[in-house]
Amino acid sequence: MTTDFQPIQDDDVAQVVKLWHSCDLTRPWNPPGEDIAQLRAHPTAEILVARNANACVASVAVGYDGHRGWAYYVATDPAFRNRGLGRAAMRAAEGWLTVRGVAKIQLMVRESNAAVIGFYGGLGYKDSGVRVLQKWLSPERARLCAEGTNGH
């Protein structure tokens, strides 16, 4: 197994979707295949993956919005947890952004996910004191979200 993260390849897409599902990162209103396609098409974004025997075992999506960097879809295959892949994923995302001159990285974590909040705290991430507000521009996705959760 390697903790070397490389850009996603066409052959990785189905594995990454499966990985995200296994880590409970997907939601009906954010189809992972569409998210992957959009990220891959955007020049200021990348999905980085780590492999074990050609299987994707970890991922991080990273992007730059012109103001700050963001990390999304940080995932480690449950069978490969506690081996440093999550930390390596974040180092890879931070490195990707640093090379591009980005001064700050942010990410969003559900408040109910205390274990993950603790993980990021151990990496030096702090609560920014900012509340994230949203407005759905797609009525269909808004409907899926309303049906699936409390609106988040």
74-101: per-residue pLDDT in tens? 999 999 999 999 999 999 999 999 999 9
Higher pLDDT, 37 or 110: 37
Higher pLDDT, 133 or 43: 43
β-pairing, 6-7 with 69-76?
unpaired
The DSSP bridge partners found for residue 63 are 45, 70
Query: Does residue 98 lie within any of the structural domains?
Result: yes
pLDDT at 3: 78
Q: Which helix (H) or strand (E) holds 16?
A: helix 13-22
pLDDT at 135: 87
* Number of domains observed in the structure of the chain: 1
Higher pLDDT, 141 or 56: 56
Average pLDDT on 53-75 reads 96
Q: Does the global pTM surpass 0.85?
A: yes
Query: Does residue 121 lie within any of the structural domains?
Result: yes
Question: What's the domain range around 95?
Answer: 6-148
**CATH label of the domain that carries residue 22:** 3.40.630.30
Q: What are 109's two structure tokens?
A: 């974590």
Q: How confident is the model at residue 152 (pLDDT cuts 50, 70, 90)?
A: very low
**Mean pLDDT taken over the chain:** 92
66 three-class SS: coil
pLDDT at 124: 97
Query: Does residue 30 lie within any of the structural domains?
Result: yes
pLDDT at 73: 96
Query: Does residue 1 lie within any of the structural domains?
Result: no
Q: What are 142's two structure tokens?
A: 């808004």
Beta strands in the chain (DSSP E): 6-7, 45-52, 55-64, 69-76, 105-107
Query: Does residue 127 lie within any of the structural domains?
Result: yes
